[in-house]
Structure 1
């Protein structure tokens, strides 16, 4: 076994043993670039990879429905994780790529993953033209002009499922945090983070029962950093919500084994104007749990953002939406009731069986 393959296996073993996974997001970032609040996001360049940062992802979720009103959810994610802060050709590349895909119905949940080494063409991201891929999974720009993320085609497949979708943005990109600088802890760990939460989607899901034509709404998150969590944070609860009035909400709760959780939120008006909220403005309270894969997972939540008169209850479309992959976690669509109605997505990491 050559040294590169051995390094890949060692990285996977170390990451799988960590509750945080994905290269130990709370560990020291020596040698890697660190986000700065003074730096500005630049498009379309920042749609591409940043090999001097340790961890990065292109992450899309969609709430979909068929002609009969049945709800579905899909997820497509490409992760880049670096063993060293540079890029190189062939097996000399220290960049690791991991793809996750999921499809959720009210009765079933499907998940698949792909793994690749950078530098050999099996996975990567280009900016001109924009394409993110791993094996035959792809997120490809179809925009004739303007921002490359304005129009996309998206495809993935796994055992028992596949999807092929087209996405069209109706509003501009949205920075998260302060102009894209998203703080994650009281100690100041942070990431660069922006979203496209205004996709209209149509396409086809392939299920064991046959093809299903769907339409709906999508949300793309772009985030990169080198140490986005503090050492004592061991998981997160993250939401992206499409409200029926046209507004959007991004929020997260980072759980800390030594203290109170750290929260952040961005209220996005129907015209795309963001209002960021600091730690403590948003509260996320678990209401009910479901035993999923031997672990108690919160699958019903109370979400409160008093500054926007927001008081919501989230209910999982399918409580058993467990991504049983190299780094296991829960992720699936939710329905919204309370002061506002709508649909969204919930992702929860760091929950393991007692």
Structure 2
């Protein structure tokens, strides 16, 4: 078995307890790993980089785009880090596993690819300053002293490729209590912040040729070691940008009851307010058959504290990521009290 196949096997083994111990094993015991603590201030630019003392981490960029061909597109670029042991080491002895996902979605197509690497050999990694995240030839790179405010994004798959430039001039948004984002009734949590307000330009390379695009981008940063409870089986996560300039992040973690919700309302000037469990109301109102699964692809979403009552609809219901950890991820449109676009991620649908 070659090295890459071994890494895939290890990641699949980690994901096996999904239903009994939190989605993808994220509810399993994290003995020896660091645990997020309330009141611990985030530190920039250092926290843009990796946190090997924690078990799991990701850099997650989504973008809603309009092409010069008049069509709507969505782009995803994600780098995951997962640690087998709570320490760092060099070369092939490193316990850090890296996985990258890239996708390009239109109304009629959804293309994705996956990269897997072992830490310690330079094949994948993240540097905080100047910011650089990569796996193989997929890259998300910044500029010296600019943090995450100016990024260049590249990735390619078998039938797609993209190169995007992202610029933001609003502050980072810290979710929960100053970046301490609670995920369960008993207080399990992650560190979580976002840059939700990128302006995006660039080029998509499609089978029919290049398409120039403009749009908006949203970057999520999150790390933890045991963010879920054993009975939480997946989540429904929304990042929505409204025509008014306001934005919203919201999620529900599903369990055997009503689930656990959290939301952040972001004003047009970049200031934000975090809303507690129960403030966000989400209800699936239409489903589609996706890879032999029944997946919600139209949602009613309400946030009464902000007079929000909207219908969120998938641009392409077949936006299934058939990767080592399968899930649904794709662009959405928003209608109702607020209009706009965004992204929806759904995990744990069997």
TM-score w.r.t. length of structure 2: 0.96
Distance in structure 2 (CA, Å) of the matches to 1:207 and 1:127: 32
Kept in 2: contact 1:15–1:22 (CA 8 A): no
Q: Which residue of 1 aligns with 2:151?
A: 152
Q: Which residue of 2 aligns with 1:225?
A: 224
Give the 5 Å matches for 1:61-210. 61-142=62-143, 144-145=144-145, 147-210=146-209
Aligned partner (choices 254, 257, 260) of residue 258 of structure 2: 260
- Show structure 2 runs of 5+ residues with no match: none
The one-character-per-residue Cα deviations of 1:28-81 (angstroms, maximum 9, x if unpaired) are 110000000121100000000000000000000000001243110000000000
The one-character-per-residue Cα deviations of 1:299-353 (angstroms, maximum 9, x if unpaired) are 000000000000010011000000011111100000000000000000000011x
The Cα of 1:6 is off from its aligned counterpart by 9.0
Aligned partner (choices 295, 315, 318) of residue 317 of structure 1: 315
Specify whether residues 81 and 22 from structure 1 end up closer, same or farther in structure 2 by C-alpha distance, changes over 3 A only: farther
Q: Which residue of 2 aligns with 1:248?
A: 247
Q: Which residue of 2 aligns with 1:286?
A: 284
The Cα of 1:170 is off from its aligned counterpart by 2.1
Q: Which residue of 2 aligns with 1:42?
A: 43
Distance in structure 2 (CA, Å) of the matches to 1:31 and 1:11: 19
Specify whether residues 234 and 22 from structure 1 end up closer, same or farther in structure 2 by C-alpha distance, changes over 3 A only: closer
The Cα of 1:10 is off from its aligned counterpart by 4.8
The one-character-per-residue Cα deviations of 1:141-172 (angstroms, maximum 9, x if unpaired) are 03x53x42010000011111110000001201
Q: Secondary structure at the match of 1:203?
A: strand
Q: Secondary structure at the match of 1:313?
A: strand
Distance in structure 2 (CA, Å) of the matches to 1:16 and 1:159: 26
Distance in structure 2 (CA, Å) of the matches to 1:67 and 1:9: 38
Kept in 1: contact 2:77–2:155 (CA 8 A): yes
The Cα of 1:87 is off from its aligned counterpart by 1.3
Q: How many residues align?
A: 348
TM-score w.r.t. length of structure 1: 0.95
Distance in structure 2 (CA, Å) of the matches to 1:6 and 1:134: 16
Q: Secondary structure at the match of 1:11?
A: helix
Q: Which residue of 2 aligns with 1:275?
A: 273
Kept in 1: contact 2:62–2:76 (CA 8 A): yes
Kept in 2: contact 1:33–1:53 (CA 8 A): yes
The Cα of 1:130 is off from its aligned counterpart by 1.1
Give the 5 Å matches for 1:329-348. 329-348=327-346
Distance in structure 2 (CA, Å) of the matches to 1:63 and 1:55: 26
Kept in 1: contact 2:104–2:112 (CA 8 A): yes
Aligned partner (choices 302, 305, 308) of residue 307 of structure 1: 305
The Cα of 1:13 is off from its aligned counterpart by 3.1
The Cα of 1:11 is off from its aligned counterpart by 2.2
Q: Secondary structure at the match of 2:47?
A: helix
Q: CA RMSD in A?
A: 1.6
Specify whether residues 9 and 327 from structure 1 end up closer, same or farther in structure 2 by C-alpha distance, changes over 3 A only: closer
1:238 partnered with 2:237: yes
- Tell me which stretches of 4 or more aligned residues in structure 1 moved more than 3 Å: 4-10, 18-23
Distance in structure 1 (CA, Å) of the matches to 2:102 and 2:108: 18
Q: Secondary structure at the match of 1:12?
A: helix
Q: Secondary structure at the match of 1:259?
A: coil
Distance in structure 2 (CA, Å) of the matches to 1:137 and 1:281: 38
